[in-house]
């Protein structure tokens, strides 16, 4: 395959990949709001992300019952979209980080939260995972 054909094929694959995130296909529409330690305290909580309840008020508590009531999230910076792990244990990642690449993220603004789950971490604690509705016009690619 020639370089222009490879570039075109990669571009089409990336477009299809980002479209599947934008449409909420599968379980690829989650963002992480932070981590709760073994004592159920924020450790850490993601900056530039405000969790909102049904009434639109900020939810700042680390209590799981309060967090389960999150209905929206207000982002002031892009948040990485990832596979939803639900309440299961997280999979092991690679031993060393890979090369930086472009990955899908949802841009700033307020988005609805479909559900909140707490995947368990292997070394203690749990993530606070938000399943969001990611409109296509809000999905962007960021390098990480």
Tokens representing 94 are 């690679």
pLDDT at 5: 42
- Confidence band of 94 (pLDDT split at 50, 70, 90): confident
Helix (H, G, I), strand (E, B) or coil at 31: strand
Q: What is the Cβ-side half-sphere exposure of residue 12, based on CA atoms within 13 angstroms? A: 6
User: Would the pTM count as exceeding 0.85?
Assistant: no
**Per residue in 51-89, pLDDT tens?**
999 999 999 999 999 999 999 999 999 999 998 877 766
Taking the domains of the chain in order of start, what are their residue ranges?
A: 3-90+99-143
The C-alpha atoms of residue 142 and residue 144 are separated, in whole angstroms, by 6
Q: 126: exposed, middle or buried (C-beta count within 10 Å: 0-12, 13-18, 19+)?
A: buried
Q: Is 140 exposed, middle or buried (0-12, 13-18, 19+ CB in 10 A)?
A: middle
């Amino acid at each position: 395959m020639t370089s222009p054909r490879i570039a075109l094929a990669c571009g089409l694959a990336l477009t299809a990949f980002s479209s599947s995130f934008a449409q909420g296909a599968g379980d690829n529409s989650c963002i992480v709001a932070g981590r709760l330690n073994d004592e159920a305290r924020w450790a850490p909580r993601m900056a530039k992300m405000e969790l909102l309840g049904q009434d639109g008020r900020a939810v700042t508590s680390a209590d799981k019952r309060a967090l389960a009531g999150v209905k929206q999230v207000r982002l002031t910076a892009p948040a990485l979209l990832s596979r939803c792990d639900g309440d299961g244990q997280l999979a092991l990642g690679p031993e060393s980080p890979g090369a930086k690449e472009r990955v899908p993220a949802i841009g700033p603004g307020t988005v609805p939260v479909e559900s909140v789950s707490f995947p368990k971490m292997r070394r203690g604690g749990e993530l606070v995972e938000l399943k969001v509705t990611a409109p296509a016009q809000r999905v962007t690619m960021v390098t990480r």
